[in-house]
């Protein structure tokens, strides 16, 4: 998207830079990354940066006008609602596909949004790893942090948000079978940055309303949970045994409250309007003259691209009994924008990551996550032999 930068980067690229980056991952975390890392970061110019932030600002402004309690009642059955105080959404991830408009300009198109933590600690590591291991990195004012943060300030912001003044022993990162998750590298990055433990939900004990885990052989009270458990995953694990549920009345603080995963998600896409937001309809209320081949069928509460149907038809739709749990979203055609040192260019999905700023009482941008692909569906979890694709980060031009 900055041709002179891209051409110079590609011309001076060496495979040893990429190998050195992967070695740094291994040296830092003791294991390779669970998903493919791209050979290149993405460089975003000032014009596209403005469009992205304009779209994010419009989305957040509209979130403030939506009756989220009504969304909660509509989409979360009473038996699945967590009784803890809802509080604020501590995190927001806004995903855009980068596309080409009719006038040839590069524009962002909203794919989905999630009030759920993403790879907040791995991404800064990755950005810094590109800077350290790529001597061909372009000169100039490029940044992957936002809100005028540097690395130390960023970590301090996340520490305040997640620990909220608690001793690190009283705060855990909770996941289900964390060692099996592809995102386990982010858990390790979180442990290194905050000093908190990653604990499997199955290893937590419950006494009354209190939760405990074992730390250095000692039973330790859990006061605050940095929650990385996806409800959908729990439902898909047969015979899962835990001493508590996310819906229990517990004497614990949540970062973030489990219900935000449902409330700010694909379920509100049909309510959002903007030039960079494709039209969406609930499956139980869409125009009958809709040209289905122009739309993607998505389950509301799936994660990591599971259950997406890129080619829906009436037969498929009519067979769905819980239509209220699906949307039709106008297809976004990702543009092959990133020139690579291969036969095919790569497409880009950009995830803007926000956190709740307690002092300013609002969400603010802090960092980004970028994924690259040459296929029809962008998902770094899929096995492929392609190169110059995978997990990445975008550097924004100042």
Tokens of 30: 């003791």
Residues 60-69 have a mean pLDDT of 94
Note whether 131 and 142 are within 8 A (CB).
Answer: no
Residues 335-353 have a mean pLDDT of 96
Residues 245-271 have a mean pLDDT of 93
**CA 147 distance to own-chain centroid:** 19
Q: In three state form, how does the secondary structure of 254-283 look?
A: EECCCCHHHHCCHHHHHHCCCCCCCCEEEC
Whether pLDDT at 146 is above 80: yes
Residues 224-233 have a mean pLDDT of 88
- Quote the CA–CA distance of 324 and 91 in Å, as a whole number: 26
Residues 289-308 have a mean pLDDT of 83
Using a pLDDT cut of 70, give the percent of the chain over it. Answer: 96
- Quote the CA–CA distance of 322 and 378 in Å, as a whole number: 26
- Looking at residue 305, its pLDDT comes to 57
The per-residue pLDDT of the chain, averaged, comes to 93
Angle at 324 between CA 322 and CA 325, to 5 degrees: 75
- Looking at residue 123, its pLDDT comes to 98
pTM: 0.94
Whether pLDDT at 233 is above 80: no
- Looking at residue 76, its pLDDT comes to 86
Band the pLDDT of 139: cuts 50, 70, 90. confident
**C-alpha radius of gyration, the chain, whole number:** 21
- Looking at residue 320, its pLDDT comes to 92
Closest of 275, 270, 277, 273 to residue 298, by C-alpha: 270
Whether pLDDT at 191 is above 90: yes
- Looking at residue 300, its pLDDT comes to 85
- Looking at residue 325, its pLDDT comes to 87
Tokens of 386: 């392609």
Whether pLDDT at 303 is above 70: no
Tokens of 321: 């009994």
Whether pLDDT at 343 is above 60: yes
Whether pLDDT at 2 is above 70: yes
- Looking at residue 336, its pLDDT comes to 95
DSSP codes of every residue in 192-229? HHH-PEEEEGGG-EEETTEEEEEETTEEEEE-EEEE--
- Looking at residue 308, its pLDDT comes to 87
Whether pLDDT at 53 is above 60: yes
**Range scoring the smallest mean pLDDT among 9-23, 249-263, 383-397:** 383-397
Taking only the tens place, the pLDDT of each residue in 5-20 is 999 999 999 999 999 9
Band the pLDDT of 381: cuts 50, 70, 90. low
Whether pLDDT at 376 is above 80: no
**Range scoring the smallest mean pLDDT among 77-81, 277-281, 305-309, 318-322:** 305-309
């Amino acid at each position: 998207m900055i041709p002179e930068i891209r051409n110079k980067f590609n011309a001076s690229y060496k495979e040893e830079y990429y190998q050195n980056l992967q070695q740094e991952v291994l040296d830092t975390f003791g294991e390779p990354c669970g998903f493919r890392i791209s050979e290149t970061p993405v460089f975003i110019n000032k014009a596209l940066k403005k469009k992205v932030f304009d779209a994010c600002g419009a989305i957040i402004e509209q979130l403030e006008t939506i009756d989220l309690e009504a969304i909660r009642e509509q989409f979360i059955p009473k038996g699945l609602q967590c009784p803890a105080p809802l509080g604020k959404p501590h995190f927001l991830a806004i995903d855009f596909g980068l596309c080409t408009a009719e006038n040839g300009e590069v524009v962002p198109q909203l794919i989905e949004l999630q009030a759920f933590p993403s790879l907040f600690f791995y991404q800064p590591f990755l950005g810094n790893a590109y800077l350290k291991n790529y001597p061909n990195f372009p000169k100039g004012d490029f940044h992957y942090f936002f809100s005028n943060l540097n690395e130390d300030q960023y970590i301090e912001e996340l520490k305040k948000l997640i620990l909220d003044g608690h001793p690190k022993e009283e705060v855990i990162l909770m996941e289900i079978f964390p060692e099996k998750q592809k995102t386990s590298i982010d858990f390790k990055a979180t442990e290194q940055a905050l000093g908190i433990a990653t604990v499997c939900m199955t290893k937590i004990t419950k006494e009354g309303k209190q939760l405990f885990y074992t730390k250095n052989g000692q039973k330790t009270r859990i006061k605050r949970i940095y929650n990385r458990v996806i409800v959908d995953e729990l439902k898909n694990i047969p015979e899962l045994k835990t001493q508590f549920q996310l819906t229990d009345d517990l004497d614990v603080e949540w970062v973030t409250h489990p219900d935000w995963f449902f409330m700010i998600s694909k379920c509100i896409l049909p309510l959002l309007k903007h030039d960079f937001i494709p039209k969406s309809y609930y499956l139980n209320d869409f125009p009958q003259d809709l040209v289905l081949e122009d739309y993607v069928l998505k389950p509301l509460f799936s994660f990591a691209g599971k259950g997406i149907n890129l080619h829906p038809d009436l037969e498929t739709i009519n067979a769905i009994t819980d239509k209220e749990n699906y949307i039709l979203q106008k297809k976004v055609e990702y543009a092959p924008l990133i020139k690579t040192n291969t036969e095919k260019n790569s497409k880009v999905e950009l995830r803007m990551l926000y956190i709740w700023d307690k002092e300013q009482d609002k969400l603010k941008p802090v960092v980004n996550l970028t994924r690259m692909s040459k296929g029809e569906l962008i998902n770094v979890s899929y096995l492929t032999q392609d190169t110059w694709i995978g997990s990445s980060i975008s550097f924004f031009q100042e």
